[in-house]
Chains A and B, each alone.
Chain A
């Protein structure tokens, strides 16, 4: 009889401690989460009307570099990835190598994005052509607004593009 009472007290103590421990771990996990100020992602508007052919611009969005390339006529078009504004074709990609997140650089001579870290290469449309990158450069959510792009907002063109992919 006394034994079962002790067992009960032991189990009650163990149970409450375990529940408390799980909640404490949950609280610790949340302390490691990004802060609300970090999460409230910025929306960046870029005016691309002034860009020349074959020009590459790098802008910062959510702490990541984004490459905007206006394709020249000799660069092959890729309807699945190009953003067309009037007559102009743009490629907008997150400038982090899909291998391990280094920033590739634009090589105008070969019209490629080359990653120095592990030798990955991407063509002008951001598609991986050599090395360890497992997939093409990611396309950030965007909205076309006149001759400007709003990064962070999912516009019609972006949704269509994602459906095709």
Chain B
């Protein structure tokens, strides 16, 4: 039983009951962050802000959206866009924030790869991050279905059909997921449930675990310097702030983050106000029609690279159907990042990529290849495009096969 005495003020009253001071110390003022980091370390907080934007704008959209195939299209394109005051703003912010979230996720992910922040005890940070990537992908896909335009409908048709690749039970699984033989009202309503309740809950939970997984191995730094956080923290608390190699999460680290957030949000609102159309495909302003596929369908930009891996294999190889190869490659492409910490066979070398003799090439080839896949994912898959897609997909898979050998070779070099 806590010893309750007459409080000296509101904070003290709360502190006696909730231990708010100790809580703030642990979570904020004595949560230590290394000094030698750069703006790329602010992406996590940028993502939190974007998630907040998505949540708030989502709540406002939810008041007028109707998850029914006869009402959905008009509830979005007429009610929200034209009748609701500022409805257009919430929709554009929601759409642009979804796209921006993936932009920042990719920067966050490549930062982690570049600085080797996925190893030496940081494996769980990486893995929970990849779970978040998959959860956000599902969230984006289910949300894209809701306006019930042509792109919504055909994206749903194609993506749910991917499950038909599961041996034996595939076709039954597809019908089960859709709740109908085709994407229909039952499909829309259940994906609405996923988008507004189940997936956000999962995402919030995994974000909490992601943050928690940072506490023991600590945030990595630019040179992967091993810090004795207790010693450095003591220096800071003793007033030797200049000498100390760490700063507290609050107020020091977060105030720098807020600067980056401010910079980013300026860019974000520039997009919302002047270039919102990039997240609003014109084809999706035509109501869903199950009897007519749009001439050319493609996912949003952030899914193009794995979409191109899926369709890159357009001919049968050794008696295996092109579609099955594509599906297997697609599943591998989405799962292979999970095992990255274990494919890197140089587990103690967390130097940034530019200081590693072979890894730096691997890193930049990966980035270049994913850009090629993204660009060609949007182009019609005919003629030479199909071949570029094929070789880019092969290269993507090859890079991950080569990684253990490259890093092992590097590890031998380190030992000498």
Contacts and interface: CB of A to CB of B under 8 A. Distances in A.
Contact of B311 (A35, A38, A98, A132): A132
A58 B291 contact: yes
A35 B179 contact: yes
A111 interface: no
A106 B314 CA distance: 21
A88 interface: no
Contact of A117 (B297, B315, B386): B297
Contacts, number: 91
Contacts of A133: 322-323
B179 A118 contact: no
Given A32-B179, A34-B180, A117 B322 contact: no
Contacts of A159: none
B292 A103 contact: yes
A101 B157 contact: yes
Interface string A29-71: 1001111001001000000000000000010101111000000
Given A34-B186, A63-B181, A116 B296 contact: yes
Nearest to A104: B293
The secondary structure that dominates the A interface is loop
Interface string B143-156: 00000000000100
Contact of B161 (A33, A100, A116, A132): A100
B58 interface: no
Contact of A132 (B190, B291, B294, B313): B313
Contact of A65 (B178, B291, B311): B291
Contacts of B176: 29, 32-34
Given A62-B181, A63-B180, A64-B182, A131 B322 contact: yes
A103 B322 contact: no
Contacts of B397: none
A63 B147 CA distance: 20
Interface in A116-147: 116-119, 131-135
Contacts of A60: 290-291
Contact of B290 (A32, A63, A131): A63
Interface string B178-209: 11111010100010000000000000000000
Contacts of A100: 157-158, 161-162, 323
Contact of B314 (A64, A101, A131): A131
A55 B157 CA distance: 27
A105 B294 CA distance: 11
B4 interface: no
Contacts of A29: 176
B416 interface: no
Interface residues of B, number: 37
A38 B292 contact: no
A34 B189 CA distance: 13
Given A32-B190, A101-B157, A102-B157, A117 B182 contact: no
Nearest to B158: A100
Contacts of B386: 119
Contacts of B315: 132
Contacts of A102: 154, 157-158, 293, 297
Interface in B30-59: none
B326 interface: yes
A132 B179 contact: no
A99 interface: yes
A48 B190 CA distance: 39
B168 interface: no
Contacts of B326: 132
B303 to A, nearest CB: 14
A34 B179 contact: yes
A72 to B, nearest CB: 24
A101 B165 CA distance: 12
Interface centre among A62, A63, A132, A135 (most CB of B within 10 A): A132
Contacts of A62: 181-182
A63 B179 contact: no
Contacts of A41: 181
A119 B181 contact: no
B381 interface: yes
Interface string B211-234: 000000000000000000000000
A86 to B, nearest CB: 30
Contacts of B68: none
Contacts of B314: 118-119, 131-132
Interface of B: 154, 157-158, 161-162, 175-182, 184, 186, 190, 290-297, 311, 313-315, 321-324, 326, 380-382, 386
**What 6 A-B pairs have minimum CB-CB distances, sorted nearest first?**
A134-B321, A63-B182, A101-B161, A103-B293, A132-B322, A134-B323
Interface of A: 29, 32-35, 38, 41, 58, 60, 62-65, 98-103, 105, 115-119, 131-135
11 contacts: A32-B190, A34-B179, A58-B291, A63-B182, A65-B291, A99-B323, A102-B157, A115-B293, A116-B293, A117-B297, A131-B381
